[in-house]
A = this chain, B = another copy of it.
Amino acid sequence: LVLDKGKCLVNIKRIVDKTNRSEISYRPHFKTHQSHEIGRWFRDFGIGKCTVSSLQMAKYFAKDGWKDITVAFPLNYLEYKLIDALAAAIKLNLTVCVPGTLTKLSSLIQNKLNIFIEVDTGYHRTGVEHGDIGTIEEILKEIDANNNFSFAGFLSHAGHTYKANSIAEIKEIHFDEVHKLNILKQRYISRYPELILSIGDTPAASVLDHFRDVDEIRAGNLVFYDLTQHEIGSCALEDIAVALVCPVVATYLKRGEIVIYGGGVHFSKDTVQIEGGYASYGSVVEFKEDGWSLPETNRYVKSLSQEHGIIAAEPKEIESIKPGDLIAILPVHSCLTAESMGSYTSLAGEVISRLRTC
């Protein structure tokens, strides 16, 4: 998995500039890269806090000096030992979306925790339904019942922007989310003057130039981007900062197919839809010493098994390709591809490590 640091830095700078101009906080989600080194690139832009999706990830980044970390994943009180150990060392912000778990956690920890209530503004994955004041009050009661708990605010993830069909639709979802969150803010700000509103999706963070009426943005996929984000309209193909470089193992002229060593265990099985309605597991780009350039033709990965990938190409294009050649492919979902690969190689050939969760 080759990483173009230059593209990453442009992607990071873009969102840092936007959040600075909007005078809101940027707390990037680090689940996409999960790398100490890449985390430091954010730090170089003045970013001092981050978001993760597991306690293991929080532990990993705390080790590299991150002192303020939000776990944007529903609290699993079975992990109370790690929660308490981390809370002793850093400012740890947890996310709760159902009543009961905080009460269970309450007697198991000794250290201070900031608690976000996750609000469902329409994605319907996790979170308290935005109008369900009864449930919010139940959770607030659990927070107020323990001096170690502080209410941090309302957190949401408008994951339905990933299914949007236009930039207008992304914005519409975003403004609806912000509206729903602000109704809650108005209701609770006098009781909890420190509460903030935190939102998370990469599409809205990418297509908006200015953010209003929220306090914090967590978007993180934008460090790498991928074909899914390109399909949504969040980025240009040029912005995608990672490519999987795979050796050709066979070519089949008649079938118009190139077989590479690169399969489901490397790419993940997510797809984007391309012209003609076909499912693509990745787009072929031209790989060069100093990076990759965008393809003139429409070669794409048409199928994946565990270790094999099959690229569809015109027979004419295949003639010049031989086993042993290297082909670079932009991934459909960079988070999953990076997770599968377990590390990055810079254009200069250096290995950039990441958290190994498997």
What's the minimum C-beta distance from A93 to chain B, rounded to whole angstroms? 16
Q: Is the CB of A249 closer than 8 A to any CB of chain B?
A: yes
Name, among A54, A104, A306, the residue most crowded by chain B CB atoms within 10 Å (CB to CB): A306
Asked whether B323 lies within 8 Å of A340 as measured between CB atoms, the reply is no
Select the stretch in A72-80, A142-150, A182-190, A235-243 that faces chain B: A72-80
Q: Give every chain B residue within 8 A of A323 (Cβ-Cβ).
A: 74-77, 98, 100-101, 104
A249 touches B74 (CB 8 A): yes
* Contact across chains for A357 and B307 when beta carbons are under 8 A apart: no
Residues of B within 8 A of A231 (CB): none
A: interface residue count bin: 35 or more
| Chain A 315-358: CB-based contact to B (< 8 A → 1; otherwise 0) | 00000001110000000010110011111000000000000111
**Known contacts A306-B335, A356-B356, then 11 further A-B pairs from the complex at CB < 8 Å, ordered by chain A residue:** A53-B306, A73-B261, A73-B307, A74-B249, A74-B259, A74-B323, A98-B249, A101-B323, A264-B268, A268-B268, A342-B357
A residues lining the B interface (CB < 8 Å):
31, 53-54, 73-78, 97-98, 100-101, 104, 124-126, 159, 247, 249-251, 255, 259, 261, 264-265, 268-270, 305-308, 310, 322-324, 333, 335-336, 339-343, 356-358
